[in-house]
């Protein structure tokens, strides 16, 4: 009895330690068909998206307005996640608002192309809900848990972390020339007390923040 109790305590401690892990980028991200041409994109650095393209010598100081296309959801063909359309609308609205907030004060948001207007296209290409409480507890407590359960918790597998993937393209709204593009996928931290879509929203917040920062950096 004492031995079994000790194993449970060990597993619970392992789960709690893993709960502090932060979100991370997934470098072997899958491409969708959203960007059409991926030949220009190259692997990004550690602080960049998985795949990145920036036009050589790009200077955005000539742009003071920005236009967003309607955000699309193009889940990968092999995605095993079914998401209620109402949830997808909530997530796209959240991401769209995060992007708008990221450019607030730096660019005027418009709805028509023209001189000095950046054209931004964005798609969500994967979303997976997190189920940390259910998956952590089912790993720790079922009958026959001792060895298999310890391995799963210690390795971080089957803890139900959420994921999200997105593709983005920035173009000149008059010429249609591609100025920048990115493809990225992020996996949430292994937290035991997070909502089902918190990891996904964290990814959207991260991408929106980096988007706003990068636009300002490219205004030389």
What are the sequence ranges of the domains in the chain? 23-130+160-217
pTM: 0.74
Question: What is the rounded distance in angstroms from the CA atom of residue 130 to the CA atom of residue 219?
Answer: 37
Give the pLDDT of the chain (220 residues) as one tens digit per residue: 444 444 333 333 333 333 344 444 545 677 888 999 999 999 998 778 999 999 999 999 999 999 999 999 988 666 666 788 999 999 999 999 999 999 999 999 999 999 999 999 999 999 988 875 544 433 333 333 333 333 333 333 334 568 899 999 999 999 999 999 999 999 876 555 568 899 999 999 999 999 999 999 998 7
Q: Are 188 and 198 in contact (CB under 8 A)?
A: yes
Helix axes 85-103, 198-217, angle to 10 degrees: 30
**What does DSSP say about strands 51-54 and 178-187: parallel, antiparallel, or unpaired?**
antiparallel
Question: What is the rounded distance in angstroms from the CA atom of residue 50 to the CA atom of residue 39?
Answer: 14
Domain covering 23-130+160-217 in this structure, CATH number: 3.40.50
- Its sign, for the CA torsion 142, 148, 150, 154, is negative
Q: Are 63 and 117 in contact (CB under 8 A)?
A: yes
- Its sign, for the CA torsion 50, 56, 61, 63, is negative
Could you tell me the two tokens for 30? Answer: 């899958």
């Amino acid at each position: 009895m004492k031995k079994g109790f000790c194993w449970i305590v060990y597993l619970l401690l392992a789960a709690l330690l893993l709960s502090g892990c932060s979100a991370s980028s997934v470098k072997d991200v899958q491409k969708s068909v959203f960007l059409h041409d991926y030949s220009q994109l190259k692997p990004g650095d550690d602080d960049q998206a998985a795949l990145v393209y920036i036009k050589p010598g790009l200077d955005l100081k000539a742009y003071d307005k920005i236009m967003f296309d309607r955000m699309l959801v193009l889940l990968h063909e092999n995605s095993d996640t079914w998401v209620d359309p109402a949830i997808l609308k909530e997530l796209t609205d959240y991401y769209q608002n995060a992007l708008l907030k990221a450019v607030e004060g730096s660019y005027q948001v418009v709805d028509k192309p023209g001189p000095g207007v950046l054209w931004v296209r964005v798609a969500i290409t994967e979303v997976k809900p997190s189920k940390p409480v259910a998956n952590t507890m089912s790993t720790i407590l079922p009958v026959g848990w001792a060895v298999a359960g310890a391995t799963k918790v210690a390795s971080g597998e089957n803890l139900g972390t959420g994921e999200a993937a997105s593709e983005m393209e920035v173009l000149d709204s008059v010429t249609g020339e591609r100025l920048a593009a990115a493809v990225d996928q992020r996996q949430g931290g292994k937290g035991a007390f997070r909502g089902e879509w918190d990891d996904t929203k964290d990814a959207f917040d991260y991408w929106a923040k980096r988007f706003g920062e990068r636009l300002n950096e490219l205004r030389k």
